[in-house]
Amino acid sequence: MAKNTEKKLPVMLSDCTDPYQPLEKHYKITRKCVETLVKHGFPLLIVTKSDLVTRDIELFHETPTVVSLTITTLNNKKARFMEPYAPPPQKRINALREFASRGIATTVRIDPIIIGVNDNPEEWEKLVETVAEAGAKQITISTLKPVRGFFKKLEAKNPKLCKKLVHAYMDGEKIAGYQYLNAEKRRKIVESFRQIVLEHGLEFASCREGFPRLNTTLCDGTSYIRKGKNSLIEDYVH
């Protein structure tokens, strides 16, 4: 590893796929990567839907680390629909609680929020209450942003939901290859969720929604381990 490699900003595992998929339990590829990064003093941002992440907690204690757990719903049926290969929500809540009790900064991603599935404010209230009690420092939300071919696949699995979503996104906008809800719908979701999160004493952020002034911190959760984080947050939020 080059001696002049910048170690100020965290290394994210992972932005493109879950680093703690079931095969990781056997092959330990992510663990080997973490061991190398820890050895060279890099701070870490771990983003996952799996409770397997608790296996490496002793490594996370060796370098500044934030664990960001995705928990889209507490409803097992909805979770199986949205995340058929991920562990049940309760296992992720248990993992969150373990990290918090062991002094590892932990955030929760509620991503994606899907109209007609997990967009009920009463469910949001219960989810936020649960993760706050478990020890999360922050909640980051993101609405569903379909890519090309999404609706065709969804129609084959759930025609009723597909029809509802097609209607919801008809007046939206396309940004960087993604279909967004229109700005008014997105803002309503972000503002409503933000109010619930702040009432429970947590930091709040939304990712790629276009309303950075509603954020109280960085959306990726790394404010807890960045050097010079106060100036970074001030620049990002304002």
Give domain status of residue 157, yes or no: no
Structural domain for 195, as ranges: 11-145+183-237
Give domain status of residue 122, yes or no: yes
Give domain status of residue 168, yes or no: no
Helix (H, G, I), strand (E, B) or coil at 88: coil
- Measured CA to CA, the distance from residue 70 to residue 58 in angstroms comes to 21
Backbone region of residue 77 per phi and psi (left: phi > 0; alpha: psi in -120 to 50; beta: other values) = alpha
> What pLDDT, in 10s, does the model give residues 109-132?
999 999 999 999 999 999 999 999
Give domain status of residue 152, yes or no: no
CA geometry: angle 17, 21, 24, nearest 5 deg: 120
pLDDT at residue 228, rounded to an integer: 52
pLDDT at residue 111, rounded to an integer: 96
What is the overall mean pLDDT for the chain?
93
pTM, whole model, 2 decimals? 0.91
- Measured CA to CA, the distance from residue 70 to residue 114 in angstroms comes to 14
pLDDT at residue 230, rounded to an integer: 47
Domain count, the chain: 1
Give residue 11's pLDDT band: very low, low, confident or very high (50, 70, 90).
Answer: very high
Q: Is the peptide bond before 14 cis (omega within 30 degrees of 0)?
A: yes
Indicate whether 104 pLDDT > 90: yes
Q: Is the peptide bond before 112 cis (omega within 30 degrees of 0)?
A: yes
Q: In this structure, what token pair is assigned to residue 100?
A: 């918090």
- Measured CA to CA, the distance from residue 204 to residue 201 in angstroms comes to 9
Give domain status of residue 137, yes or no: yes
